[in-house]
Structure 1
Amino acid sequence: MERGELNDLLAFATVARERSFTRAAAILGMSPSAVSHAMRGLEERLGVRLLARTTRSVAPTEAGERLLQSLGPALLDIEHGLEALSEWRDNPSGSVRITTFAYAARMVLLPKLPGFLLAHPDIRVEVNIADGLTDIVSAGFDAGIRLGDAVAKDMVAVRLGPDLRTVVVGTPEYFERCPPPVTPYDLERHACIGYRLTTSGGLLPWEFEKSGKEIKIYTTGPLVANDSDLPAAAIRAGVGLGYIMEHDVAGEIASGALVQVLADWCPTFAGFHLFHPSRRQSPPALRALIAALKSP
């Protein structure tokens, strides 16, 4: 292998994973032009086009995808091997790439990540927010944070909190206009505030369960948004019913500002879990982050 070729392969893997010279350059600590130059040199040496470039995007070719699949595990092992050296340092160091969804980031990472970074100045954390499920191995992530039921069986899962529950609520004023639903099917006659998934673009179904019977309802109503703040404001204003995490409205239910309905149709489900590939030993930076997120 020629001198510098390992660095070029690492740069290629980063560009292919990020689909961007600019983002890859930021991760690698290089300029975008230097990364682009390195990719052209690598392609010339190999005699194969690895990246398909347009003025707006970059993506691996079929040959590039095959190379990326071959390189991924080896580069990850090298990275983890280098990070493992931090065990001989006073403080762990290295980088951690995490994928999660917006609500988990707000509930799990927001309260603890800033303090963790202050306490571990040699650790760099990158967080990717996406509604859809991600193959963390092929996408180059060290870990993911999802609800327990969404974690693949071949992953090591670490519970980060208690079970959760989604509830249906409306204001007393709303129920003065519309009788409360008795079953989930009654929601067809109600104004329901919807959430559109940012990754897939589909509507989030309202899921219910009772006596072993599971029901998914795709509601309709005056507002659909892919942001949680707007629906919450509409629910609290009495515009319609909302399907919302119990933790976010428990105080308002207790005070009577919001009224919960269909309570016997809303069971608990597995809460947030951090998951990562099954390895004998996780990188020190990831172990330190897991410890921080598990702490009370």
Structure 2
Amino acid sequence: MNIIHPSEPPGASLHAIPALPALLAFERAASQLSFRRAARDLSLSPSAISHQIRGLEEQFGTKLFVRGARSVRLTADGERYFAKVSAALAALQGASRDMLQHRRDANAELWISSLPFFTSAVLIPALPEFNRRNPQLTLRIEATHQYADFNASRVDVAIRYGREHSAGLKFEPLVAVKGLPVCAPGLIRGGLRKPEDLSRQVLIHLTTQPRAWPVWLREAGLLHLKARGHLWLDNVPAMLEAAEQGFGVTLAMSPLIKARPSFGKKLVVPFAFETTHSETIYLVSRTEQARDRRIAAVRRWIAEAVGRAK
């Protein structure tokens, strides 16, 4: 017949672990073979050390020290316990050192998740100024259209459209941007002069913003305009590059597009119509990090960089 023993209740095994002050007192006394020197190391009295060790002996039901008139020595049980306790305390100390080092390393870095065009037009040109002001801080910048997951990633700051996924996050408006049609100068020479002329052009779209062109066309009174063709790309820099190469017309972020070196040269505005619809780009961070000095430094730097890019 098999006898099934009831399992230990949750946490029961933890009761076998003595309190940390008792373990520290034992380890110091065992390594020094002196209650007095152990007391000095731990800034306690010799009687406090003796009390802690007596508690261990009562818990285990065995003597850990043989006490003499002027000295103490470990018993066989004390020797075995000392070997394991000292190893365990060393492991705890090492884990704590690793954690402190990890936090120091983490505090020397700041992770930014940023829209690709914002990264190229605003952040990268301003990097020398940031490095001059904050030589001790390393930036890690991820240029992506994906929303940053503040719970599952190391991101500290994100640059994003809109206020999606806002629980527990602080949103600070950076700049309002509008869709501005831009193209290569050759398309203007070929007859692109007014919004209606877009019917003879290829419209270049951003896959993550499928409503951008329809919204712009609706405001221009051209909701039912049929373009000659459509080109879909997954990031803004690729869209602008395609427009510069003369493949079609795309919508750029105004006023930030002015910071692109090719603007006004290889990339021009074909007509004067300007939409009233705008989107806000936000700086996003965790609410509990509102007073983080690293984030405050990055916030100031980005706000100034946006001002220069406009």
- TM-score, scaled relative to structure 1: 0.51
C-alpha change, 1:99 and 1:217, in structure 2 (3 Å) is farther
C-alpha change, 1:282 and 1:120, in structure 2 (3 Å) is same
C-alpha change, 1:282 and 1:236, in structure 2 (3 Å) is same
Amino acid in structure 2 at the alignment position of 1:190: R
Which residue matches 2:278? 269
Aligned length: 204
Which residue matches 2:122? 108
Amino acid in structure 2 at the alignment position of 1:110: I
Which residues of 2 match residues 237-248 of structure 1 at below 5 A? Answer: 238-247=246-255, 248=257
C-alpha change, 1:124 and 1:219, in structure 2 (3 Å) is farther
Retained in 2: the 8 A contact 1:190–1:240? no
Q: 1:174 aligns with which of 171, 178, 187?
A: 187
Which residue matches 1:138? 152
How far 1:219 sits from its partner (Å)?
6.5
What is the SS of the residue equivalent to 1:208?
helix
How far 1:158 sits from its partner (Å)?
2.3
What is the SS of the residue equivalent to 1:110?
helix
Higher alpha-carbon Rg: 2
How far 1:102 sits from its partner (Å)?
0.6
Which residue matches 2:9? none
Q: Distance in 2 between matches of 1:172 and 1:237?
A: 10
List gaps (5 residues or longer) in structure 1: 2-77, 87-91
How far 1:260 sits from its partner (Å)?
3.5
C-alpha change, 1:287 and 1:246, in structure 2 (3 Å) is closer
How far 1:169 sits from its partner (Å)?
3.5
Q: 1:287 aligns with which of 280, 296, 305?
A: 296
Which residue matches 1:128? 142
Which residue matches 2:240? 232
Which residue matches 1:260? 270
Give the fraction of aligned pairs with identical amino acids, expressed as a percent. 14
How far 1:153 sits from its partner (Å)?
6.3
Amino acid in structure 1 at the alignment position of 2:248: G
Tell me if 1:194 matches 2:204.
yes
Q: Distance in 2 between matches of 1:155 and 1:225?
A: 30
Retained in 1: the 8 A contact 2:171–2:282? yes
How far 1:180 sits from its partner (Å)?
5.3
How far 1:276 sits from its partner (Å)?
0.9
- TM-score, scaled relative to structure 2: 0.49
Once superposed, what is the RMSD of the aligned Cα atoms? 4.6
List gaps (5 residues or longer) in structure 2: 1-13, 15-98
Which residues of 2 match residues 66-105 of structure 1 at below 5 A? Answer: 93-105=107-119
Q: Distance in 2 between matches of 1:138 and 1:220?
A: 43
